[in-house]
Structure 1
Amino acid sequence: MISSAAGTASVPEAVELVIGPRRRPLGGLEVNRVWPTARRRMVGPFIFFDHLLPAELEPGRGVDVPPHPHIGLATVTYLFEGEMLHRDSIGCEQIIRPGELNWMTAGSGIVHSERSTAEQRARQSQIHGIQSWVALPREHELCAPSFVHYPADRLPIIERVDARLKLIAGTAFGASADVATLSELFCVEADLAAGALLALGSELGERAAYVVGGSIEVEEVGYESGKLLVFRAGGEIGIRAQTATKLMLFGGAPLDGERHIWWNFVSSSADRIEAAKHDWKARLFPAVPGDDDYMPLPE
């Protein structure tokens, strides 16, 4: 009989940490903010993970995340359903659709907004996706900000009898994505048929799995949607799908030291974060062309 990791059930030897759902409002919708946590700051270079929960949007309703700043990180935005319009302070404007990737490197500082398009607001629509953050290596923390959009056909797909793996960034499962990153990492969308067994090798470095939908088991312990599993270092990890399941797999080589994280800022320097807080409050960050709204600094 398969036990559940909820409540007092035992945690498998291969699992270092299990993080449950933590729902937060964002831009008029709801996200499951599973990362960061005080119990562990990073998996590889990944330091933040939001699951934009599936939502039905009635006409006139949409996603509205107003202009807000970032430093010291790259945002990884990927949709399963719907579309959003990205605008940023270096002048990029890009609609992202399912299966595509927006990779924005904040570096020394960037401001961006994420909103539903006018076409999407005019009709009933859906939205569902993820956004994660990758902390930048020290030598690149103050690099010039940049933005790159990758269409779906540039992201490799690994087809198996009982699984479909889409490599969003990095190297995994014998494939490499044509996505420019500044550190060794992997990010994979995995769709598994019921009963499928997926192995995560130790060559991937630090490893985590988020259950977007469905349920899995690791060493005969079950985990349902909304759970993030961080695995122990070394050895092969076996993940079995109890039902048809969608996972996000991510991690990579450990970064070069700890990072401070506060609101939308990531840095190896606490002083740099304090400076960014001051600059945002004083309106010293660049503006987003076409979107003059403002997200206040948290008090």
Structure 2
Amino acid sequence: MIEMIIEQRRRNLGGGMEVGRVLPFAKQRMVGPFIFFDHMGPLDIAAGVDRSIDVRPHPHIGLSTVTYLFSGEVMHRDSLGYEQPIRPQEVNWMTAGRGITHSERFEHARAHGDHLHGIQAWVALPTEQEEIAPSFSHHAGLDLPQWNDAGVVGQLIAGSAYGLTASAEIHSPLFYAHLDMAPGATAEIPGGHKERALYIATGAVELNGTRYESGRMLVLDSAASRVRALEHSNVMVLGGEPIGERFLYWNFVSSSKDRLAQAASDWQAGRMKLPDADDAEFIPLPDDKGMG
């Protein structure tokens, strides 16, 4: 049963970068622990593009960021010293915990041109782990179990589903997978969690006899269900157990509004370390991001 349909809302991030914002949504703040879901691109980037398209160093607390690309390349640098390009079918998993800063730059595109297309999600940390030490891990190949069955090429990004478990360290029960579906192929949407959703990144699918186009997230109940591709489609399936109310302020997530205010103050006062290899600039604290 579909409980809600969320259409992406286009957002211009500056420098020519546009995303489709899906979560949070006014009537559906989270799906399990997933509190943020952005569809990046698709965007053709010409060689020699201006640096204004880059995402300059900025901070996070209380969450894990999950970057997954269908195409393109992004260079990650963070305050722990990691410098890691991410390419299609790989995962950058960064846990902010009590605080981390990072940048995301399009250096490959600047040198060669590129076609950027992917998903960035945030997973809120459980209350008792919101202040853990920050960490970063990169996953590729056998770290991300794949399967190929009856027209569906699947890749598990995080958590456990389809009898498989991905290697990224998670902090609450969840699943997150990419289904590359041929026309007419059907796939199970993993059950066993209170909150689930699927997002149609490309193509069109049928669920319970109704057609749904790309750019939509279908929020589902916990009953078993299957999805059928009406054309070649890329579908993200995700879900998990609720972890309680969370507040957001800019790039910060917390169960406490006081903690958000402290994080904002720390960033504004320069108390959060910048990446060593990328400390010449940063994104200042905006003045129009009220807590919610």
State the alpha-carbon separation in 2 of the partners of residues 92 and 18 from structure 1.
38
1:46 corresponds to which of 28, 34, 47 = 34
Match of 1:289 in 2: 276
Amino acid at match of 2:10: R
1:206 pairs with 2:191: no
The Cα shift of 1:201 comes to 4.2
Contact 1:27 1:65 survives alignment (8 Å): no
Amino acid at match of 1:263: W
State the alpha-carbon separation in 1 of the partners of residues 194 and 67 from structure 2.
22
1:112 corresponds to which of 102, 108, 112 = 102
State the alpha-carbon separation in 2 of the partners of residues 49 and 178 from structure 1.
21
The Cα shift of 1:27 comes to 5.4
> What stretches of structure 2 of length at least 5 have no aligned partner?
288-292
The Cα shift of 1:108 comes to 0.3
> What stretches of structure 1 of length at least 5 have no aligned partner?
1-13
SS of the aligned residue for 1:139 comes to helix
The Cα shift of 1:26 comes to 2.5
Aligned residues: 283
1:169 pairs with 2:158: yes
State the alpha-carbon separation in 2 of the partners of residues 102 and 16 from structure 1.
30
Describe the shift of the 1:167–1:201 C-alpha distance in structure 2 as closer, same or farther (beyond 3 A): closer
SS of the aligned residue for 2:155 comes to strand
Amino acid at match of 1:137: P
State the alpha-carbon separation in 2 of the partners of residues 37 and 262 from structure 1.
15
Match of 1:145 in 2: 134
1:20 corresponds to which of 7, 25, 44 = 7
1:67 pairs with 2:54: no
Amino acid at match of 1:170: G
SS of the aligned residue for 1:290 comes to helix
1:31 pairs with 2:19: yes
Match of 1:99 in 2: 89
Question: Which consecutive aligned stretches of 4+ in structure 1 deviate over 4 angstroms post-superposition?
Answer: none
Match of 1:259 in 2: 246
Offset from partner CA, 1:224-252 (integer Å, 9 cap, x none): 111111112x3112211111110111111
RMSD: 1.3
Contact 2:161 2:190 survives alignment (8 Å): no
SS of the aligned residue for 2:183 comes to coil
Query: Structure 1 stretch 287-296 or stretch 104-113: which is displaced more?
Result: 287-296
* Length-normalised TM-score, structure 1: 0.91
Contact 2:46 2:109 survives alignment (8 Å): no
Amino acid at match of 1:76: V
* Length-normalised TM-score, structure 2: 0.93
Identical amino acids, percent of aligned pairs: 49
1:268 pairs with 2:255: yes
